[in-house]
């Protein structure tokens, strides 16, 4: 026999077998007949009579063939015998125990659904390759000031530095610099603000993406004359241009200049996303238009860089190459020489998702724990179910039923339950995926890529298989040890089964209790973190504030660099006129402008030098660095913060008047330490630029000290900060400016009036990014809220499952001990003693569960440390609270069976 035949021999209904074996059978029958005839002839019969007699004796040949073939069975019959009948019986068994079935399926639905969803999310974000060509070769290149304590490591790069890197690098195949920019699309009648990106020629080539239609621009488009081309995002193309297939070649107006559309990016392409880039850059959530950028020789210092490594170049080799290039930079660029910048290489994947990795890993661990608890609970219910069938099982064992058959039955039950739970869980997971995509897209990187794809399908299948294994393994292991004959001998009361089953079920419930404690306590820690974040002292007042942004097109509002900074008279004229109009509106109590706003997702820093002695600096630092922002007068009042000493900016602090600056308390304490640092600060002088740059920047007199504000995140500690009047801004940042208005009007009413007030100055300027200050704060807590909601959900799931588990075990144990309780009653015990007995048992279980969970919780807390803010991983009140919750739930779950057992009458002792 060939191997194939050997393997398939036991499946005789396979067609090719069937045909061949039919031939063989008829050969065989013919041989039989021939032999019979030959024998008869040998015994002396004539050929004719021998043949006739043999045929008669043989009977109906085709009937014999048919009957023999019947023995092979058919595919249908085989499946019928081995699969359908099993399933049929399983369905009947499960229908006879609806409570068990529904509880198990619901349990598994929750466990599998949550787990499949979270696995898909995590695999999409962390494992799925980025949607770029050979994404492993993409690196972000950031400026870095290793010795400046800024709280964030990624810094922008100067345009000149970028040009030198691009000309000298050997490690990178291509690199591109890009910066956020905003564009006013269209003319005066219907201006619309678009969030855009300016990027150098090789931007798209470096990422390795293809356009949906048209083409992308190239290095040649950096030169003036061919640089007025634009690439639209798929979303803008559809929304604003009705997916016009003839869009290529059309001329559109961006910031009052004409640009030719040369391409539309593929659907879903959105690089860079604000949520994926570090805070010091002004990137919008999703870019909508890309235009070429010529690497600027001066002025623009806020470049981000992405590079594609040559094939085979390692991270280390790239690092060395960058060190070599930076040596060139330090030799050749005078203004860079003294600030000693470095460049930092961050793999793109790490850049995009590194920030959320700890959060996702914690959530994944949490959801797997939920799945384990769900499976343990189902296994526990299954054991209970087996136990109620003990008489039937014992009888079957006595009649020769094999344990293998029993195992097959349990397995079929489990498979049915897990399939039902898995299907329902999968449906729930897919529904949840849609919710999650919209809910998480803004603050979770790559969440928009979440779809039900092969990744998620494999994740879900893996989860379902895992559940099936976990659920079936436990009863199988125990089932094989069950002595069915003992059960029968003990009159069906099942000493053997009972002993093992109850012990096992208690152990399972202890496990559930421990797991629940971990999840409840983890959720508790996160809830405390979230509430600390939301109640953190912001340094400003979030209530009743509205903010929006305007962008001024450089063609009508030019900015000119001159010897001591930038000159931007037209922009100042527009902004002060707009502010005047807004302040004149009825109901407006304060209005100011500035940039960047606290908690707006962006921050800026600048080197500076105080007059006199330098403040203490981190070792190796060459120049002090502080947060930097610009503001108008009244911004302090609009934000609801307070001037601690000195005064606010006045209208008189204008372009031509002496330079002034406001610092925060932290800056004052750093520079002029002492008892009343804030008062000391007034009148002192600082300037931007490093101590080594002795000319160029004017000295600014400190006229006021403002309270510390949360700048970038709710969890940061106060950092030194300086605020410069927007009229005296030494840097180029007027392309967009943020307004803050405090009023007692409805937001919609206020906005309509504000719109008119601004249009009165320049009707081509649209409002963008309208938000309340409360929204800004809420957005900043969104990650904490996300992880907290999920973990709290897991905690509740686990708690419910555990209550079911405890109820089952305690109820069962009370049922088993009815006779004993009756006897106790007969001997004089009151209902109260019985109650105590049962509650005591449940408390013992809880005690063991909590002791075990305590250790696990400590480990979980340590692992979650990066997610916590102002809460110790071993926070005693959280731990005690969680223990109380678990204990209360357990007692509640055992009260019902306890109460019914307490009512047992003494005569029960005799009945059973």
Partner 1 sequence: MSKEPVTSRMELLQGTLDFIVLQALRWGPCHGYGLVQLIRSQSGNVLQVETGSLYPALQRLLRQRAISTEWGTSDNDRRVRMYRLTAKGRSRLAAEQSRWEKLSLAIAGLMTRPTPEDA
Distance CA 340, CA 731 (A): 20
34: phi then psi, degrees, rounded to nearest 5: -60, -45
Q: Is 23 in the site for partner 1 (CB under 8 A)?
A: no
Q: Supply 650's token pair.
A: 């006045």
Dihedral over Cα of 445, 451, 455, 456: its sign: positive
Q: Show contacts with partner 1 in window 541-560 (CB under 8 A).
A: none
Interaction mask 799-818, partner 1, x per CB under 8 A: --------------------
Interaction mask 703-732, partner 1, x per CB under 8 A: ------------------------------
CA nearest 160: which of 281, 331, 321? 331
Distance CA 250, CA 236 (A): 14
Minimum CB–partner distance for residue 67 and partner 1 (Å): 4
Minimum CB–partner distance for residue 60 and partner 1 (Å): 7
| Share in percent of the chain as helix, strand, coil (round to 5) | 55, 15, 30
Minimum CB–partner distance for residue 406 and partner 1 (Å): 22
Residue with tokens 């804030």: 678
Residue (29 or 856) nearer to partner 1, CB:
29
Q: Which stretch binds partner 1 (CB under 8 A): 33-41, 583-591, 777-785, 879-887?
A: 33-41
Q: Is 32 in the site for partner 1 (CB under 8 A)?
A: yes
Please, are residues 569 and 655 in contact by the beta-carbon 8 Å criterion?
A: yes
Minimum CB–partner distance for residue 4 and partner 1 (Å): 17
Minimum CB–partner distance for residue 23 and partner 1 (Å): 12
Q: Is 29 in the site for partner 1 (CB under 8 A)?
A: yes
CA nearest 474: which of 365, 384, 364? 384
Residue (83 or 127) nearer to partner 1, CB:
83
Distance CA 210, CA 216 (A): 8
Using CB under 8 A as the binding criterion, the count of chain residues that bind partner 1 stands at 29
Residue (69 or 337) nearer to partner 1, CB:
69
Q: Is 35 in the site for partner 1 (CB under 8 A)?
A: yes
Distance CA 444, CA 327 (A): 37
Q: Is 2 in the site for partner 1 (CB under 8 A)?
A: no
Q: How is residue 875 annotated by DSSP?
A: -
Minimum CB–partner distance for residue 82 and partner 1 (Å): 14
Q: Could you tell me how far CA 398 lies from the centroid of its own chain?
A: 55
CA nearest 421: which of 691, 24, 103, 151? 103
Residue (67 or 465) nearer to partner 1, CB:
67
Distance CA 751, CA 737 (A): 17
Residue (59 or 224) nearer to partner 1, CB:
59
Residue (26 or 205) nearer to partner 1, CB:
26
Minimum CB–partner distance for residue 377 and partner 1 (Å): 42
Residue (78 or 854) nearer to partner 1, CB:
78
Minimum CB–partner distance for residue 468 and partner 1 (Å): 31
Residue (11 or 431) nearer to partner 1, CB:
11
β-strand partners of 177: 305
Residue (69 or 493) nearer to partner 1, CB:
69
Minimum CB–partner distance for residue 46 and partner 1 (Å): 10
Q: Is 38 in the site for partner 1 (CB under 8 A)?
A: yes
Residue (64 or 328) nearer to partner 1, CB:
64
Minimum CB–partner distance for residue 360 and partner 1 (Å): 54
Q: Which stretch binds partner 1 (CB under 8 A): 23-31, 358-366, 515-523, 535-543?
A: 23-31
Distance CA 429, CA 110 (A): 9
Distance CA 471, CA 349 (A): 37
Q: Which stretch binds partner 1 (CB under 8 A): 24-32, 135-143, 452-460, 612-620?
A: 24-32
Residue 183: is it exposed, middle or buried by C-beta count within 10 angstroms (0-12/13-18/19+)?
Answer: buried
Distance CA 862, CA 244 (A): 55
DSSP string for 283-342: --SS--EEEE-PPPSSS---BEEEEEEPTT--HHHHHHHHHHHHHHHHHH-HHHHTT--E
Residue 830: is it exposed, middle or buried by C-beta count within 10 angstroms (0-12/13-18/19+)?
Answer: exposed
Minimum CB–partner distance for residue 64 and partner 1 (Å): 4
Q: Supply 254's token pair.
A: 């961006």
Minimum CB–partner distance for residue 54 and partner 1 (Å): 10
Residue (26 or 701) nearer to partner 1, CB:
26
Instruction: Tell me how far CA of residue 268 lies from CA of 238, 273, 280, 430, 509, in angstroms.
Output: 13, 11, 25, 20, 47
> Do β-strands 625-631 and 643-646 pair in parallel, antiparallel, or remain unpaired?
unpaired
Please, are residues 878 and 528 in contact by the beta-carbon 8 Å criterion?
A: yes
504: phi then psi, degrees, rounded to nearest 5: -65, -40
Minimum CB–partner distance for residue 63 and partner 1 (Å): 6
Residue (72 or 854) nearer to partner 1, CB:
72
Q: Show contacts with partner 1 in window 45-104 (CB under 8 A).
A: 45, 49, 53, 58-60, 63-65, 67-73
Q: How is residue 601 annotated by DSSP?
A: S
Q: Which stretch binds partner 1 (CB under 8 A): 25-33, 286-294, 312-320, 858-866?
A: 25-33
Give the DSSP H/E element, type plus range, for residue 590. Answer: strand 588-595
Q: Show contacts with partner 1 in window 140-169 (CB under 8 A).
A: none
Q: Give the residues lining the site for partner 1 (CB under 8 A).
A: 10, 12, 24-25, 27-29, 31-32, 34-36, 38, 45, 49, 53, 58-60, 63-65, 67-73
């Amino acid at each position: 026999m060939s191997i194939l035949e050997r393997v398939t021999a036991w499946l005789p209904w396979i067609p090719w077998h069937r045909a061949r074996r039919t031939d063989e059978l008829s050969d065989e029958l013919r041989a039989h007949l021939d032999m019979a005839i030959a024998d008869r002839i040998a015994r002396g019969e004539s050929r004719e009579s021998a043949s006739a007699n043999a045929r008669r004796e043989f009977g109906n040949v085709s009937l014999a063939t048919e009957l023999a073939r019947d023995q092979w069975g058919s595919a249908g019959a085989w499946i019928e015998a081995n699969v359908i009948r099993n399933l049929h019986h399983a369905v009947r068994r499960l229908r006879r125990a609806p409570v068990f079935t529904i509880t198990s399926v619901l349990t598994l639905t929750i466990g599998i659904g949550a787990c499949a969803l979270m696995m898909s999310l995590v695999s999409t974000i962390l494992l799925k390759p980025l949607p770029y060509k050979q994404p492993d070769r993409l690196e972000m290149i950031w400026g870095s000031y290793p010795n400046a304590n800024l709280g964030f490591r990624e810094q922008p790069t100067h345009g000149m530095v970028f040009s030198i890197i691009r000309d000298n690098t050997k490690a990178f195949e291509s690199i591109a610099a890009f910066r956020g920019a905003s564009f006013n699309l269209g003319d005066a009648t219907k201006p619309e603000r678009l969030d855009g990106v300016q990027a150098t020629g090789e931007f798209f080539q470096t990422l390795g993406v293809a356009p949906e239609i048209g083409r992308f621009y190239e290095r040649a488009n950096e030169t003036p004359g061919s640089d007025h081309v634009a690439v639209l995002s798929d979303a803008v193309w559809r929304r604003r241009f009705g997916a016009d297939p003839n869009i290529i070649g059309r001329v559109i107006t961006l910031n009052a200049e004409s640009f030719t559309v040369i391409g539309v990016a593929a659907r879903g392409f959105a690089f860079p996303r604000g949520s994926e880039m570090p805070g010091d850059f002004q990137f919008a959530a999703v870019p909508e238009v890309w235009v070429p950028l010529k690497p600027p020789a001066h002025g623009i210092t806020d470049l981000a860089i992405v590079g594609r490594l040559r094939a085979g170049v390692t991270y280390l080799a790239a690092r060395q190459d960058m060190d070599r290039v930076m040596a060139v930079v330090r030799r050749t660029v005078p203004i860079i020489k003294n600030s000693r910048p470095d460049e930092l290489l961050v793999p793109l994947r790490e850049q995009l998702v590194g920030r959320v990795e700890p959060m996702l890993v914690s959530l994944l661990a949490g959801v797997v724990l939920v799945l384990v608890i769900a499976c343990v609970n189902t296994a526990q219910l299954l054991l209970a179910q087996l136990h109620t069938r003990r008489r039937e099982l014992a009888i079957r064992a006595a009649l020769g039923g094999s344990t293998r058959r029993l195992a097959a039955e349990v397995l079929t039950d489990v498979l049915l339950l897990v399939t039902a739970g898995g299907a329902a869980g999968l449906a729930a997971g897919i529904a949840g995926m849609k919710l999650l995509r919209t809910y998480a897209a803004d603050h979770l990187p790559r969440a928009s890529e979440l779809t039900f794809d092969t990744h998620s399908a494999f994740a879900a299948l893996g989860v379902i298989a895992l559940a099936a294994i976990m659920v079936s393994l436990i009863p199988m292991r125990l089932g094989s040890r069950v002595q069915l004959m003992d059960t029968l001998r003990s009159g069906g009361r099942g000493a053997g089964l009972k002993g093992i089953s109850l012990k096992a079920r208690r152990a399972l419930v202890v496990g559930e209790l421990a797991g629940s404690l971990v999840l409840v306590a983890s959720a508790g820690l996160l809830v405390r973190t979230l509430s600390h974040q939301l109640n953190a002292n912001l340094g400003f007042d979030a209530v009743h504030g509205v903010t929006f942004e305007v962008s001024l097109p450089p063609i009508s509002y030019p900015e000119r660099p001159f010897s001591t900074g930038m000159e931007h008279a037209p922009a100042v004229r527009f902004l002060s006129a707009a502010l005047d109009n807004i302040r004149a509106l009825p109901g407006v109590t304060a209005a100011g402008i500035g940039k960047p706003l606290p908690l707006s997702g962006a921050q800026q820093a600048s080197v500076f030098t105080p007059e006199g002695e330098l403040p203490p600096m981190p070792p190796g630092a060459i120049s002090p660095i502080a947060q930097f922002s610009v503001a108008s007068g009244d911004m302090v009042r609009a934000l609801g913060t307070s001037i601690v000493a000195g005064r606010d900016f006045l209208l008189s602090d204008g372009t031509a008047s002496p330079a002034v600056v406001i610092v925060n308390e932290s800056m004052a304490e750093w520079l002029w330490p002492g008892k009343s640092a804030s008062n000391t600060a007034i009148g002192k002088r600082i300037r931007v630029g490093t101590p080594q740059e002795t000319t160029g920047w004017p000295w600014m007199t400190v006229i006021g000290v403002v309270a510390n504000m949360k700048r970038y995140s709710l969890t940061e500690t106060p950092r030194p900060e300086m605020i410069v009047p927007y009229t005296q801004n030494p840097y180029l940042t007027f392309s967009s400016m943020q307004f803050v208005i405090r009023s007692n009007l409805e937001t919609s009413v206020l906005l309509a009036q504000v719109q008119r007030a601004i249009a009165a100055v320049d009707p081509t300027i649209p409002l963008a990014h309208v938000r309340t200050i409360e929204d800004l704060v809420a957005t900043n807590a969104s990650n904490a809220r996300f992880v907290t909601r999920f973990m709290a959900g897991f905690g509740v799931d686990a708690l419910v499952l555990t209550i079911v588990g405890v109820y089952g075990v305690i109820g069962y144990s009370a049922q088993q001990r009815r006779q004993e309780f009756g006897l106790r009653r007969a001997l004089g015990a009151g209902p109260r003693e019985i109650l105590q007995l049962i509650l005591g048992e449940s408390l013992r279980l809880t005690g063991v569960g909590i002791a075990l969970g305590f250790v696990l919780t400590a480990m979980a807390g340590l692992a979650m440390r990066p997610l916590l803010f102002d809460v110790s991983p071993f926070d005693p009140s959280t731990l005690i609270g969680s223990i109380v919750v678990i204990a209360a739930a357990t007692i509640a779950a055992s009260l019902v069976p306890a109460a019914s057992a307490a009512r047992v009458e003494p005569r029960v002792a005799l009945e059973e």
